[in-house]
Structure 1
Amino acid sequence: MRNWKRRGSGERLRITSELDSHESDLIASLVTSMTELLDERQSTAPTDSLADLTGIEAGHSTPPSDATLGRLFPDFHRPDQDETTTVDAVTGDLNGALRSLHEPHILNAKQEAAQVVLNSLPTGGGQISLSPQEADQWLSAINDVRLALGAMIGISESTPDQLPEGDPMAAHLDVYHWLTVVQELLVVALIGK
């Protein structure tokens, strides 16, 4: 991937780059895999007759058991964030209610961002040109893919920059680092520095 560049200004501003074929295919594969995880989470949401009557979509009240989805949909509040809230209130009622109310909207936003990436990827590589709004969606989707990949391979503060040759996660870590660079360069292009 080449560096992201700003072209034009005002309403004609475009954020552009060029992707090699394998880069375009890799991003498409990663975003598609993440979309499948999101679709599965959405399809297992409980049905709610009150939601049907009011039109207010309800989601899961419990966090995902899968670590990857858990990273994409963390609890809204953790006991270590507020010493005045009891652990039971945070882990049960509060997080469950917040999750049920907000997760459908968060999930839809993640799916929309992923779809923008898939729709704007050049098939077989090539030039990519994004509006600032599309670039924001790209940032969101790439961040979600990084979070999912990081959870899958167990990224932590102690994870080295490179894993030993032959480690089954070495290639995944390289992809994680590459996505970090893609995201960072896109942020720099968006802010115009």
Structure 2
Amino acid sequence: MPGHFEPLPGGGAAVALDDVEISIIRSLAVQLLELIGPGPGACDDPLAELFAEGPSEPPADPVLRRLFPDAYSDPEEEPASPAEAERRRAHSSEFRRYTENDLRAGKRENALAVIRSLDALTPAGDGGAVLELSPQQSRQWLGALNDLRLAIGARLEIADEDDADALHRLPDTDPRKPMVLAYLWLGGLQETLVDTLMA
């Protein structure tokens, strides 16, 4: 179980984490929450908040652009004409306006679920703990792990497999090395959690 998720009887997943791993995941989840932001704000009228419109323009931050990409753009396909480019931009803007608030709320809830489950851990005698997740918590963790990897990948400017392969060969003295190690480690956790949920 150390370093990877395993299935629990009746559903869910478990993983053994040491204090350093717990601290890293918690810190990254808190940073993700800060990046995503607090939401549209406290509202006395839940119905009005339900129909509140989100932003219509993509975020300026490259990490947020990776977490909340345009819906009608394909970076590998050029629009056939300026009119087609404008049509895509208008559709992306409209889609973003009506969906981004909900997407942000879901990502916030997943990150909060990670923090809450880590905070509820009872330390074992060896300085670590075994994290046991229900099926729903497992899905929230999977979403949060994916978001964390996307965020780190954006900071590392990973656009494709070639970029990821180049990062594997970084010397230990490169200042990006700790972020690369976190990216790879979270990828391993994510992969074993997917395998566990599909078992």
Kept after mapping to 2: 8 A contact 1:162/1:173: no
Query: Runs of 4 or more off by more than 3 Å in structure 1?
Result: 81-85
RMSD over aligned Cα, in angstroms? 2.4
Give the match's secondary structure for 1:118.
helix
CA offsets 1:123-145 (integer angstroms, 9 cap, x no match): 76411111111101100001001
1:79-94 to 2 correspondences below 5 Å: 80=77, 86-91=84-89, 93-94=90-91
> TM-score scaled to structure 1, two decimals?
0.85
Residue 83 of structure 1 and its aligned partner are, at CA, apart by: 5.7
Aligned to 1:127: 130
Alignment of 1:20-169 (within 5 A): 20-39=18-37, 42=39, 52=48, 55-78=50-73, 80=77, 86-91=84-89, 93-121=90-118, 122=121, 125-157=128-160, 158-159=162-163, 160=166, 161-169=168-176
Equivalent residue, structure 1, for 2:183 = 176
Task: Provide the secondary structure at the position in 2 that maps to 1:86.
Answer: helix
Separation of aligned partners in 2, 1:173 and 1:143: 15
Report the equivalent of 1:47. none
Between the aligned partners of 1:174 and 1:70, the Cα distance in structure 2 is 23
TM-score (norm. length: structure 2):
0.83
The equivalent residue for 1:48 is: none
2:113 touches 2:141 (CA, 8 Å); kept in 1? yes
**Aligned 8 A contact 1:15 1:130 in 2:** yes
Residues 76 and 98 in structure 1, CA contact (< 8 A), matched pair in contact too: yes
* Higher RCO structure (Cα 8 Å, ≥6 apart): 2
Question: 1:86 corresponds to which letter in structure 2?
Answer: E
Q: Which amino acid aligns with 2:95?
A: L
Confirm or deny: 8 A CA contact 1:162 1:170 kept in the other structure.
no
Residue 3 of structure 1: CA displacement?
2.5
Greater shift in the superposed pair: 29-38 or 153-162: 153-162
